[in-house]
A = this chain, B = another copy of it.
Amino acid sequence: MTRTHASNLPDQTEAVLRDFAVQSEGKTDYANCPVRDVLDRGGEKWTLLILVALAEEPKRFSALQRDVGDISKRMLTQTLRTLERDGLVERTVYPTKPPSVDYRLTALGRSALNPLASLIGWAAESHDEIRAARAEYDEREVVGAW
């Protein structure tokens, strides 16, 4: 496997990408691709926001819904179930009346915060540049249509 053409990348990044490429090589066996298996869930959109919301402290269902903002109960329940099933989040029911439930990150869930923060950091840094690129692209396309 050759070095990427983007040779200003850190060696560690290179290595991860290389491994991933090798593993994907010519396979149709995507069921065993860890990356796809882990990240392919439709819930991705809310997953990130929920994990970040829980990073600060354990939260109850309704607190989560407030913090995430515009998520519906249905999607919140569904995403939390997936996260619980994947072992990233722990659900605890307290036998009060009415019962209260809280959600907290497991050790595995906490370990996900590092890569997620890395992604969030990149998005925040790049946001202006991306918006500029979009504006330019749209300009070109609109002009091109005339």
Contact in complex: A138, B69 (CB < 8 Å): no
- Total copies of the chain: 2
Determine the main DSSP class of A at the interface with B. Answer: helix
Q: Give residues in A with beta carbon < 8 Å to B.
A: 1-2, 4-6, 8-10, 12-13, 16-17, 19-21, 24, 27-28, 30, 34-40, 44-45, 48-49, 52-53, 55-58, 67, 69-70, 84-88, 104-105, 108, 110-124, 126-127, 129-134, 136-138
Q: Are B13 and A117 in contact (CB under 8 A)?
A: yes
Establish whether residues B120 and A16, one from each chain, have CB atoms under 8 Å apart when the complex forms: yes
A77 to chain B, nearest CB (A): 15
B122 touching A70 by the CB < 8 A rule? no
Distance of A95 Cα from B79 Cα, bound (Å): 48
Q: Are A57 and B127 in contact (CB under 8 A)?
A: no
Chain B residues contacting A123 (CB-CB under 8 Å) are 34-35, 37-39
Q: Which residue of B lies closest to A3 (CB)?
A: B56
Is A133 a contact of B4 with CB atoms below 8 Å? no
User: By the criterion CB–CB under 8 Å, are B38 and A6 in contact?
Assistant: no
B120 engages A118 (CB within 8 Å): no
Per the bound structure, the CA–CA distance linking A116 and B114 in Å amounts to 12
